[in-house]
Structure 1
Amino acid sequence: MSRKHLLLHGWDSAYEKEAWYPPLTDSLSGITKEQALWKPQGEPANSIWENVSHLIFYKERFLKRLTGEETEYPTGITNDDTFSIGGATDEEWERTLSRLKEVHLGIRAKLEEMEEERLDEKIPQTPIGIWMTDLVAHDAYHTGQIILLRKLQGSWPSRRSFE
């Protein structure tokens, strides 16, 4: 199996095809605006919506780097800034989910058409293949956070059966 096929498998598993953990799309299925904005009391935590905004930020940066539209990290933006959300309306939540899908599938399309050798190309210092691997792990990490938030809300089962 080629590196490209392994990356496509990881990319698909992280987003929409269950493998060893639930994919991001399952973790976001049926979430209302209120659930997306909810945060547990007491300790500072990012909401589901903030986590999704963060994922979109880094996926959009990567896609822009793949296309040559952007080569450097935007100045004046910290990692904490990437968790911010726009207007907290039902329509904006739906637009956020649409942006996530669009950028994820956009990256997938670029990877699918990419020659295997390009995975070693650095943008700007990191090889494309490493970027992809890191983004898969990043998605899995934040999917786990989203599921934990849903469990705390009571909107995700505490246990799942795979039988």
Structure 2
Amino acid sequence: MNMLQSALGGGAIFPAPETLVDGLNFEAATRNVPGVPYTLADLLAHLAVTQRASLDLASGKTETWPEALDIWPGVPDAGSFAALLTDLRLGVAEARALAERPSERARELLTDLSAHNAYHWGQVALLRRLLGEWPQ
């Protein structure tokens, strides 16, 4: 595994995204933390939508960032939340695969994605701790 794959998927220097969402349910993810302007579910939805747009660019499925993309879409119900967690997990696997031998463009996009995601995955870890929902 190369450094970019590790940065996208965790494990060596920080918890893997799979660990950060392990055992998380909709009820816990939608609880508010005083002073925090979003829930865990909101944060995970943001991660999922920006990850998908970035991966579509990195893989060549699209050439430009989608106009009018709602980057804070929220999560309306438990079924949508379960699908969101699946999308996040699949996206992490896709990002790792793309990072194995990326083109120059893909490397730039995946590097940007890894920095963006590291920031937000840290927020996920903190919010889970504050909610008493850290995976054991």
Structure 2 length-normalised TM: 0.83
Counterparts in 2 of 1:50-65, with a 5 A limit? 50-65=42-57
Aligned residue number for residue 67 of structure 1: 59
Aligned residue number for residue 125 of structure 1: none
Cα deviation digits, residues 92-134 of structure 1 (max 9, x gap): 221111111112212222232x35xx2x23xxxxxx3232222
**Structure 1 alignment gaps of length 5 or more:** 122-127
**Structure 2 alignment gaps of length 5 or more:** none
Who wins on radius of gyration, i.e. which is larger? 1
Aligned residue number for residue 32 of structure 2: 39
Cα deviation digits, residues 134-161 of structure 1 (max 9, x gap): 222222211221122122212238xx9x
The separation in 1 between residues aligned to 2:90 and 2:2, in whole angstroms, is 21
Counterparts in 2 of 1:1-163, with a 5 A limit? 5-13=2-10, 17=11, 19-41=12-34, 43-77=35-69, 81-89=70-78, 91-112=79-100, 114=101, 118=103, 120-121=104-105, 128-156=106-134
One-letter amino acid of the structure 1 residue matched with residue 74 of structure 2:
I
Residues 58 and 109, structure 2, Cα contact 8 Å, conserved in 1:
no
Cα deviation digits, residues 12-45 of structure 1 (max 9, x gap): 32xxx2x33322222211111111111223x352
Could you tell me how far 1:66 is from its partner in structure 2? Answer: 2.7
Q: Percent identity?
A: 25
Structure 1 length-normalised TM: 0.71
Residues 48 and 87, structure 2, Cα contact 8 Å, conserved in 1:
yes
SS in 1 for 2:27: helix
Cα deviation digits, residues 40-86 of structure 1 (max 9, x gap): 23x35221111111111121112211332221222223xxx312224
Residues 24 and 140, structure 1, Cα contact 8 Å, conserved in 2:
no
The separation in 2 between residues aligned to 1:21 and 1:102, in whole angstroms, is 19
Cα distance change, pair 110–144 in 1 and its aligned pair in 2 (3 A): closer
RCO higher in 1 or 2 (8 Å CA, sep ≥ 6)? Answer: 2
